[in-house]
Amino acid sequence: MAKPEVTAIIPVYNDQPALEHALPESLKTLAEITENFEIIVAEDGSTDGTAEFVRACELQSDRVKLLHCDTRQGRGKALNRAIRKAQGSIVCYYDVDLATDMQHLPDLIDAIRKGADISTGSRLLPTSDIQRTEGREIASRSYNFLVRHILGSRIFDHQCGFKAFNKEKILPVLPLIRSNHWFWDTELLVRAQRKGYTVIEFPVRWRAGKGTTVRIKDVFEMGSSILRLWWQIHVSKD
């Protein structure tokens, strides 16, 4: 197989049922975009047989690669590790539940081909087509409002799990990121914008995955993470 143009990363933790759908769909969609691609499943200490399932898939397709970790490190660390291992000049990742419609994957990758440093799907633009509970909608809009106004970001939706990068440009940003889990997406976008990177945001069709809820604990963590990053940037000068 030729050197990949595109590396698609799927971060997973105990997600075998979702992965059984996501991997075939990924292989099909990516094959329509480029002849040269690889899929890295960034498996973060799963205990449900996810790693064994991916190993079986590796035997069936040389495009599928397992990046296993014996103990859970956090989604952010798993993504950092996978991006560094990626062979493609364009690296993308998306959530294993395929909440963002895969019809948008060509646009995500084409934005990098056309010169953007980062491209990201958005659930919060006027023409975005989303379905989720009122509680999640309020929490998301409140969170992104705070990120924009406290951290000076120009992005409307920081947490959509559907992003692509110019690998060469994103590698220097990774060592700056302190977050190991969900805040990783926001911190990456904020720090990349501070470096002057070009970020393309576009509307997507998005459907909430099953069993996702917003907890009071999550709301407090959102606020504390925003303030912590503000302190790191403006006081600690990190």
Catalytic residue IDs: 185
Tokens of 16: 């075998």
- What is the three-class DSSP state of 199? strand
Comparing CA positions, the residue from 77, 78, 83, 81 lying closest to residue 50 is 78
Burial of 90 (0-12, 13-18, 19+ CB in 10 A): buried
Q: Determine phi and psi for 163, rounding to 5 degrees.
A: -140, 155
Tokens of 34: 């480029």
**Strands 162-166, 118-122: pairing kind:** antiparallel
The H or E element containing residue 6 is strand 6-12
Comparing CA positions, the residue from 213, 36, 191, 27 lying closest to residue 133 is 213
If you write DSSP's letter for every residue of 57-77 in order, what string do you get? Answer: HHHH-TTEEEEEESS---HHH
6, 93 Cβ separation under 8 angstroms: no
Distance in angstroms (rounded) separating the CA atoms of residues 215 and 227:
19
